[in-house]
Amino acid sequence: MAARKDGKGRALRKGESYRKSEGRTRYSYCYTDPFGKRKYIYSNNLATLREREEQLIRNQMDGLDVYVAGSATLNYVFDRYLSTKTELRSTTYSNYRYTWDHFIKDGFGKKKIGDVKYSDVLAFYNHLITELGLQVNTLESINTVLHPTFQLAVRDDIIRKNPTDGAYAEIKKRNGGSRKTRHALTVEQQRSFMQYVAKNPIFYVWYPFFMLLLGTGCRIGEAIGLRWDDVDMEKRLISINHSLTYYPRREETYVCEFRVSKPKTEAGVRTIPIMEQLYQILLQERERQKQEGFCSNEVDGMTNFIFTNRFGNPHNPAAVNRAIKRIVDAHNAEEEIKAKKQKREPVMLPRFSCHIFRHTFASRFCENETNVKVIQEVMGHADVSTTMNIYAEVNESITRQSLENLAKNMDVF
């Protein structure tokens, strides 16, 4: 079949048309959108039309035409949102991706972004709380990735309003009004926990690692990634300059691996003085490793990690939490029997995660240090309000002691 041509003898491509009426030239291109509807683009000259055709093809390949029509799924828009967040640290990126894939992708994520209403978001959040039994803390993480996904569509003029606006606040109000508070260990609980670990024939191997967490306030990723290269035993300083992240290696697999990343914030790169008790523990640990061997396993080219499991690999945070759970349960069972024999109240330990060590360190630090900037620097917080509002927990005994000290130092009554 001979190719169709325009008035200048140029061959027209499939889908292109040419018409001239009343002295005016008109070119058009007919195509079918992803939903089976026939659509057209127009131009007064062939060159411009073909530029638009090429852009249309690129948009179709990228899914942009579906996006602009408000018919893209939330999954598509989330991927688009993540592609714009080039500044995200690997830990944050991994957390965002895990949260989306685990809670949103296979259900709510398949909805078309233009169809989602505020009531849909409320229904989804209610489902997560009431039927799946998620905590408000987890819902906050879900909202953290869902809200900016919709916000990107708002800024791109795909939808007029963000349907997640106010939804999380409403659900939170219905379910207690605030997120679950993480409480630091009291002095008595902290002492009881560490003494139990030190004397237990099974759990004593964890004592140096727990001493590091309670003696520095390091984040768990910073602690498991600590190397002997980062410790200056002469100057008694620890350099926090990286973190280890444990996350899925690739999609559709349960295999995980460690990767080296920067600390959570720029302020997270810091130097922490080594207190005397921790210094002595590190000396003992180094002497032990001189005899038994130092860590030779590598993670992104790094090795010589201080704290490892029996396979010579850095500790997995989940394994640390499981160890804490076993220790707490064993302690409480023994303490309850011991307290009955001694006719006293038992010192029972709450179940907690490894992050509570950081809270506990900050609380002890704040109880003994008044310079907030010093506390902020050691904790590695970018904002001092984080130090004071989240980690600096004051308990009743400390408040009472402070008032008693005030009465002694102010003889005005």
Q: Which of 20-24, 71-75, 115-119, 205-209 has the lowest mean pLDDT?
A: 20-24
With a cut of 50, say whether residue 174 has pLDDT above it.
yes
For 197-221, the pLDDT digits (tens) are 999 999 999 999 999 999 999 999 9
What pLDDT does residue 249 have? Answer: 53
* 400 pLDDT tier (thresholds 50, 70, 90): low
What pLDDT does residue 103 have? Answer: 93
Which of the four CATH numbers 3.30.365.10, 1.10.443.10, 1.10.20.60, 3.90.470.20 does domain 187-402 have?
Answer: 1.10.443.10
Q: Which of 60-74, 181-195, 260-274 has the lowest mean pLDDT?
A: 60-74
What pLDDT does residue 396 have? Answer: 55
For 39-76, the pLDDT digits (tens) are 788 888 888 888 887 876 665 555 555 565 567 889 98
Q: Percentage of the chain surpassing pLDDT 70?
A: 82
Residue with tokens 């690999």: 313
Question: Can you say how many angstroms the Cα of residue 193 is from the centroid of all Cα atoms in its chain?
Answer: 28
pLDDT mean over 251-263? 68
* 309 pLDDT tier (thresholds 50, 70, 90): very high
Going by DSSP bridges, is the β-strand pair 38-43/243-248 parallel, antiparallel, or unpaired? unpaired
With a cut of 50, say whether residue 295 has pLDDT above it.
yes
With a cut of 70, say whether residue 193 has pLDDT above it.
yes
Between CA 195 and CA 392 the distance in angstroms is 24
What pLDDT does residue 254 have? Answer: 47
pLDDT mean over 11-23? 80
Q: Which of 118-122, 297-301, 362-366, 369-373 has the lowest mean pLDDT?
A: 369-373
What pLDDT does residue 123 have? Answer: 94
146 C-beta neighbours (distance < 10 Å), count: 28
Overall pTM > 0.75: no
Q: Are 56 and 50 in contact (CB under 8 A)?
A: no
Which of the four CATH numbers 3.90.1150.10, 3.30.9.100, 3.40.30.10, 1.10.150.130 does domain 74-174 have?
Answer: 1.10.150.130
- The pair of structure tokens assigned to 362 is 């900050």
Question: What ranges do the domains of the chain cover?
Answer: 16-62, 74-174, 187-402
Going by DSSP bridges, is the β-strand pair 38-43/24-32 parallel, antiparallel, or unpaired? antiparallel
What pLDDT does residue 412 have? Answer: 46
Average pLDDT value for the chain: 84
